[in-house]
Amino acid sequence: MNQPAIIFDLGKVLVDFDYTIAARKIAARCTKPPENLHGFLGSSPLLVEYESGRLTREQFFGAVREAAGFQGEIAEFGKFFAEIFSPIGPMIELHAALRRRGLPTYIFSNTNDLAVEHVRRDFPFFKHFDGYILSYEVGAMKPQPAIYEAMENMSGRRGADLIYIDDRLENVEGGSARGWRTILHETPQKTRAALETLRLI
């Protein structure tokens, strides 16, 4: 029998993020920022297109520049847009404990190449996973079935051999529907307790 694989969402599980940080910096370089630039950057259909892989970095930047009148170049915008993350120490430590036990672990995230580039560069823990399923590479976002199938194919596991941690209920439900064992992440303490119940740490 396979060892179970532990699947981690990235944002709000291993790293926190705050689009108001980006909005503040970007707005200072814009001639016509939308009234809710934070919402525009963090939850607009434009971001969904980008994180689904249907827009390139350059196309996403071009659309934001046109909508907001951003005056800088793409490198400056990318730096502002991506530097919104902070590590969640107890969850990073929890991941390290699972690795010490020899359990395979994976990142499973709705994200974009600017964010991943930044996290990979600035957060050393990110390299210590067996694989990465990222929405912009797969061309699908959680909770769409195609991205779950991609994780199953990468890990070589199905059903109860996958243990999935995510902070969004709809994403967890997408895993549960495929027979995965799931943990709705609310706090590091609760997630650790759930893994202890499964005798994985």
The pTM of the full predicted model, rounded to 2 decimals, is 0.95
Position 1 pLDDT exceeds 80: no
Q: Which amino acid is at 83?
A: E
Helix (H, G, I), strand (E, B) or coil at 101: coil
pLDDT of residue 44: 85
Query: Are 74 and 115 found together in one domain?
Result: no
CA-based nearest residue to 43, from 141, 125, 116: 141
pLDDT band at residue 179 under the 50/70/90 scheme: very high
Q: What mean pLDDT comes out for the span 129-145?
A: 98
Q: What mean pLDDT comes out for the span 76-98?
A: 96
* CA angle centred on 60, ends 54 and 61, rounded to 5°: 160
Bridge pairing between strands 105-109 and 131-134: parallel
What residue numbers bound the domain in which 164 lies? 5-16+85-197
Structure tokens at 39: 């919402």
End position of a domain, from candidates 82, 108, 123: 82
Query: Are 114 and 149 found together in one domain?
Result: yes
What's the chain's average pLDDT?
A: 95
Residues 121, 86, 133, 97: what is their CA dihedral angle, to the nearest 10 degrees? 100
pLDDT of residue 39: 82
Query: Are 193 and 105 found together in one domain?
Result: yes
Q: Which amino acid is at 19?
A: Y
Instruction: State the greatest distance between any 2 C-alpha atoms of the chain, in Å, as a whole number.
Output: 59
pLDDT of residue 130: 98
Place of tokens 């740490």: 201
Distances (CA, A) of 100 to 119, 135, 201: 22, 28, 9
200 C-beta neighbours (distance < 10 Å), count: 16
CA-based nearest residue to 4, from 168, 195, 139: 195
DSSP state of 3: P
Query: Are 91 and 76 found together in one domain?
Result: no
Q: What mean pLDDT comes out for the span 122-139?
A: 98
Helix (H, G, I), strand (E, B) or coil at 52: coil
Query: Are 165 and 111 found together in one domain?
Result: yes
Tens-place pLDDT, residues 16-73: 999 999 999 999 999 998 888 888 888 889 999 999 999 999 999 999 999 899 999 9
pLDDT of residue 12: 98
pLDDT band at residue 85 under the 50/70/90 scheme: very high
pLDDT band at residue 144 under the 50/70/90 scheme: very high
Query: Are 191 and 100 found together in one domain?
Result: yes
CA-based nearest residue to 38, from 68, 79, 72: 68
Query: Are 41 and 92 found together in one domain?
Result: no
